[in-house]
Amino acid sequence: MTKLKDKIKNALDESRMLILGAQILLGFQYRAVLEKQFEFLPSSSQYLQLVALVILLGAIALIMAPGAYHRIVYKGEDCQDLHEFTTTVMDIALLPFIAALGIDLYVMLGRFTGGWPAIVLAASVTVLALLLWYGLELLGRRRHWDKDVRNKSEKGSENEMPQTALRDKVEHVLTEARVVLPGAQALLGFQFITMLMEGFDKLPESSKYVHAISLIVMAVTVVLLMAPAAYHRMVEHGENTEHFHRVASLLVVLAMIPLPIAIAGDFYVVMQKVTGSAPFAIIASATILIFFYLLWFGFTAYRRAQITEERA
């Protein structure tokens, strides 16, 4: 039977695979709005791109959530509840990722194939993803159902925290930083190149300032996420210590505070560009920001209080 620490490590590695795929779509969807050809898309396709962006941001929030959950709720200790939470959010995140991919395929293919061919091709890829990502999983769950029931009966409470080795805690916190970092890197690259695009010059002054602020905030996020590696090399000389684990955990959590601000800021720029309504863009971007904070910090604080009360 696979050890819990290895299950959690595998789950975090799989989260990293998902975020690497999601970052490509995210960078494309943010940048596409400022490309010259975007203005020639039908208005329906432009709004579909907005829908895809919203859906994808939801998926990214879910994929990155285990890091905050692990740091805030369990302070880096491993437990069955963490593994189940990570698995659950990844299962959920795949669905909006599939939807965003299907929409992007339809919009881009529709530019030169026309409506129905684009629908058929996009739907085919979407169905294939559903079959491979959910269909095979359902078949596998049926086959292993009895085994899972036996395992759960032997585990005890899902909130029990066996003593986690320091080496494993350090490995997990660095992996969680690597889960968040690709999304931040993709957005930072987009934010830099955007300021050299022709479409940026046509934005309202307010959107330009919002983008500039988002760029600075994202740069701070990337610096915070890269800091644990530098600290580990320069201060600890590669040694695993409890002090380093605490510092790295703090830096990862701190990095997840400005990240949603940068995401919501550029979402405002995109929304204002497509809809032409600044008030609507403010409401939409504020909603995105609140969703990220509630998932990463509100829910985790609630779970932390709930588990503390159960153990009292």
**What digits encode the pLDDT tens for the residues 112-168?**
888 889 999 999 999 999 999 888 777 766 665 555 544 554 444 555 666 788 888
Model pLDDT, residue 158: 56
Q: Which residue in the block uniquely carries the two structure tokens 């085919």?
A: 124
Question: How many folded domains does the chain comprise?
Answer: 1
What is the C-alpha end-to-end distance of the chain, expressed in Å? 32
Q: Which amino acid is at 256?
A: M
**What digits encode the pLDDT tens for the residues 85-116?**
999 999 999 999 999 999 999 999 988 888 88
Q: The domain containing residue 100 runs over which residues?
A: 4-311
Among residues 109, 228, 132, the alpha carbon closest in space to that of 177 is found at 228
Collapsing DSSP states into helix, strand and coil, what is residue 146? Answer: helix
Q: Name the H helices within the chain.
A: 4-32, 43-73, 80-113, 115-130, 136-143, 145-155, 166-194, 198-201, 205-234, 242-255, 258-275, 278-293, 299-311
Q: Determine the Cα–Cα distance for residues 255 and 242; give it in Å rounded to an integer.
A: 20
Q: Determine the Cα–Cα distance for residues 204 and 71; give it in Å rounded to an integer.
A: 40
**What digits encode the pLDDT tens for the residues 188-204?**
988 998 898 888 999 99
Whether residue 285 has pLDDT greater than 80: yes
Model pLDDT, residue 187: 86
Q: CB of 249 within 8 A of CB of 232?
A: no
CA dihedral of residues 80, 86, 90, 92 (deg, nearest 10): 80
- Which pLDDT band holds residue 248 (cuts at 50, 70, 90)? very high
Q: What is the value of pTM for the model shown?
A: 0.89
- Of 127-131, 133-137, 209-213, 292-296, least confident by mean pLDDT is 133-137
Whole-number CA gyration radius for the chain: 21
Cβ-based neighbours of 173, under 8 Å, separated by 6 or more: 71, 76, 228, 245, 248, 249, 252
**What digits encode the pLDDT tens for the residues 230-247?**
999 999 888 999 999 999
Q: Which amino acid is at 215?
A: L
